Amino acid sequence: MPRQAREVSRSGCYHVTLRGAGRRSLFEDDEDREAFVRRLRNMVDDGILLYAWCLMDNHVHLLIGDCGGGISSPLHRLTTSFALCFNGRHSHVGPVFQGRFASFPVETDAHFLETIRYIHTNPKSLGAAAPDYRWSSYREYVEGEDLCETARALDMLGGVEGFQRFHRVNGDIELVDLTGYRRRLSDAEVRDIASSIFGEGFLGSLPLMAKEERCRHSQARQAWSVESTDRAFDRNRQIYRTSCVRRVTASEQNDRIDPFTPSLWAVAMPPGRAHPISAVRSPIAA
């Protein structure tokens, strides 16, 4: 089966994620992280604009800009070179990364800023605040450029102080108009929401349900990104598309929650159950 073509960004800007094969760690130690950062520098030298980056234990977030030559070849060189280095250092055999990189078009200034903040605050899941985390581009914005092109975001936010203030809040409409965008939900929030809607144990039991039982959950009126569902359930998209997912209508697109998902799908709520997503929506779009 041919690969699905990537969605092309009109702005040339993409949020890219790289994940470890089998959700294994990509970095065993700081030497591995330094090796990856060196390869990021090579990618920048090849002509890719880098706006933000963050290295987590088993995945990487990048916000990059295409200067006209495409992003696939530079990212392929990055991942291939790092995989060879990683396998050589740790006597590992087999793939290091999980399939192809994922890329999500970033089309507007508001989306651009929200993506930068999302990338820099990702270490919160490790108990680390953005200013204290070494392996991200946050300090480049505060202390001076290194790998990243920081001028665009700093100009939009009014300098370093505005950048720091923007990262301390969930959303501030006085800093930037983010109307129409919702902050991306963390995996933990998605799991909590799913459990509150469908009950404890639903996530584990879903793959074992018959198709008819799954279809009983397909009467939703609220939009929920299928990507968030996939992350929560650790399942292939096909099971939802064929059994318990419906296409979001045009009138519902303003209620989208995950701005990084290129196509929107809705997952159902049982009738009569209150929808808890409003409790975790960012105030920027209230």
Each residue's pLDDT, cut to its tens digit, for the chain (286 residues) gives 566 778 889 999 999 999 999 989 999 999 999 999 999 999 999 889 999 999 999 999 999 999 888 899 999 999 999 999 999 999 999 999 998 899 999 999 999 999 999 999 999 988 999 999 999 999 999 998 789 999 999 999 999 999 999 998 754 333 344 444 455 555 666 777 777 777 777 666 766 677 667 666 654 433 444 445 544 544 433 333 333 333 333 333 344 334 333 333 233 333 443 333 333 333 333 3
Amino acid at 247: R
Within-domain flag for 246? yes
- Expressed as residue numbers, the domain containing 226 is 187-285
Within-domain flag for 92? yes
Domain match, 132 and 35 both = yes
Within-domain flag for 191? yes
The pLDDT value recorded for residue 205 is 72
Cβ–Cβ < 8 Å for 78, 92: no
Which of the listed residues 133, 168, 203 is the one where a domain comes to its end?
168
Interacting residues of 152 by C-beta distance below 8 A, sequence separation 6+: 51, 112
Domain match, 207 and 101 both = no
Domain match, 17 and 155 both = yes
Domain match, 122 and 207 both = no
The pLDDT value recorded for residue 100 is 87
The pLDDT value recorded for residue 203 is 65
Within-domain flag for 47? yes
Q: Which residues of 222-243 are buried (b: 16+ CB within 10 A; e: fewer)?
A: bbbbbbbbbbbbeeeeebbeeb
- pTM for this predicted structure: 0.60
Within-domain flag for 52? yes
Question: If DSSP codes are grouped into helix, strand and coil, which group holds residue 14?
Answer: strand
